[in-house]
Amino acid sequence: MSQRTYPVTMPKWGIEMQEGTITQWHATPGQPVAKGDALLDVETEKIVNSVEAPVAGTLRRILADTGATAAVGALIAVFAAPDVAESEVDAFIAGFRPADTTFEPDAATTGSAAPAAVAPVPAAAPAPTEGKGETRVSPIARRLAERLGVDVTRIKGTGSHGRVSKEDVEAYAAAMQGGPAATTSAAAGTAPVREKMTSMRATIARRLLESKLSIPHYRLAVDVELTALLGRRAQLNAGGGNKISVNDLLVRACALALVKHSSVNAQLHGDEVVKFPHADICIAVASDNGLVTPVVRAADTKSTAQIATEVADLAERARNGRLTRDEITGGTFTISNLGMFGVDRFDAIINPPQVAILAVGAGSDRVVARNGQSTVAQVATLTLSCDHRVVDGAAGAQFLATLRGLVERPDTL
């Protein structure tokens, strides 16, 4: 085949990525494309990434249209010089064999790089085979099935040659727990609406299921008075600039509390607890495609005004699906605030490998006792979900005590 013909394959970003959904093509067949031009947008997990063309050429074929989902390494388009015959492009497509992209989490330590979006076509190689009659299962899926107590021989694989993926295991486990299907409303003259999960939504579902099944959650709740915090907010906003929210002040307070309680500001990797000197706080942001958690890095080193500016920018780009992978990975703690929706209190699910998450309820007028007298104050409930493997009850309670003190006496925020 001509070296002037190149495949465009579904790129691989991150250890866990197995497929991506094309959200937009920026070029059409027959269009010349310069090196570095934006070629297409791909949605994977919680972000949309732009794929640039690393070579100059003419886009001859698009094999996966907008909205299509393709496995990592799958051929999605072909570049070729204008004088390459259509028959040669057809032969190129027919003879293309994707590289083996199956790997385990440990592969991150091998030093192997992610494949480029556009690269010379690899030599054809026969697909790996397993014993006759043996269920084809990816290593990740096999370990997940063992952890969930699922018999992989009962699962119908949706991968190449019927290979069972971890998504297949998760779907099977969820179906086994869900029980009988709900009665449809067809008799009432309406039909149910079926929508395929986006890559982002499917990833969220998988991670929440794994977190719920594998992490021993427990919760601690405290009521905190917001009167002083609201006064501090008004004081800071009187100076002009970007408006500071209660949530911005809570991020600052959590950051200061986290650096004092290292067992809460931590991640769990296998049997190792990793504690961090700075608080990288994830902010839960609702988007049309699901929950996104951009990270405010080293929030303990930033002023409340700096945090407010950064959170506003991250939240806006989160809703538009324009965050980078670095901006949504590596957090040490998460804050989920549903107070603006009028929710009084709730429990949040831990975002692994983190070991804790704070759920913030709405502030409301409540009767409180102060100096032996009843009075009305703005009070909110904060609920801390902890991973009992890392955060003991006393450690979680001490963190909440520190946080409560900062919120109710916010002069340092």
CATH of the domain at 142: 4.10.320.10
Say if residue 80 is in the same domain as residue 229.
no
Say if residue 167 is in the same domain as residue 71.
no
**Angstrom distance (rounded) from CA 327 to CA 331:** 9
Total domains, the chain: 3
Say if residue 157 is in the same domain as residue 252.
no
Task: Please give the pLDDT value at position 97.
Answer: 84
Query: Is 217 one of the annotated active-site residues of the chain?
Result: no
Say if residue 237 is in the same domain as residue 364.
yes
User: Is 157 within a domain?
Assistant: yes
Task: Please give the pLDDT value at position 177.
Answer: 66
Q: What is the domain-level CATH number for residue 392? A: 3.30.559.10
Q: What is the domain-level CATH number for residue 59? A: 2.40.50.100
Rounded average pLDDT over 345-368: 95
Give me 1's structure tokens.
Answer: 């085949």
Using pLDDT thresholds of 50, 70 and 90, give the confidence band for residue 170: confident
User: Is 207 within a domain?
Assistant: yes
b/e sequence 294-315, b meaning 16+ C-beta within 10 Å: bbbbebbebebbebbbbbeebb
The sign of the CA dihedral 51, 52, 54, 60 is positive
Residue 148's domain comprises 135-175+198-214
End-to-end alpha-carbon separation of the chain, Å?
65
Give me 363's structure tokens.
Answer: 């502030």
Say if residue 205 is in the same domain as residue 100.
no
Residue type, 217: H
User: Is 99 within a domain?
Assistant: yes
Among 161, 269, 278, 388, the one annotated catalytic: 388
Are residues 144 and 170 in contact, defined by beta-carbon separation less than 8 angstroms?
A: yes
20 pairs with which residues across the strands?
70
> Which range, of 232-236, 253-257, 279-283, averages the lowest pLDDT?
232-236
Say if residue 257 is in the same domain as residue 379.
yes
Say if residue 210 is in the same domain as residue 221.
no
Using pLDDT thresholds of 50, 70 and 90, give the confidence band for residue 345: very high
Q: Where are the alpha helices (DSSP H) in 320-390?
A: none
CA atoms within 13 A on the CB side of 330: 13
Say if residue 53 is in the same domain as residue 146.
no
User: Is 180 within a domain?
Assistant: no
Give me 256's structure tokens.
Answer: 């200061």
Say if residue 265 is in the same domain as residue 347.
yes
User: Is 148 within a domain?
Assistant: yes
Rounded average pLDDT over 225-247: 90
**Angstrom distance (rounded) from CA 155 to CA 167:** 11
Task: Please give the pLDDT value at position 376.
Answer: 93
Say if residue 300 is in the same domain as residue 389.
yes
User: Is 187 within a domain?
Assistant: no
Rounded average pLDDT over 355-361: 97
User: Is 249 within a domain?
Assistant: yes
Say if residue 161 is in the same domain as residue 48.
no
Among 69, 94, 109, give the residue marking a domain's end. 109
Among 162, 187, 214, give the residue marking a domain's end. 214
> Which is more confidently placed, 129 or 6?
6
**Angstrom distance (rounded) from CA 242 to CA 107:** 43
Among 214, 241, 262, give the residue marking a domain's end. 214
pTM (2 decimals)?
A: 0.64
Give me 344's structure tokens.
Answer: 């009084």
User: Is 89 within a domain?
Assistant: yes
b/e sequence 191-212, b meaning 16+ C-beta within 10 Å: eeeeeeebbbebbbbbbebbbe
Say if residue 210 is in the same domain as residue 220.
no
Pairing of strands 19-25, 47-52: unpaired
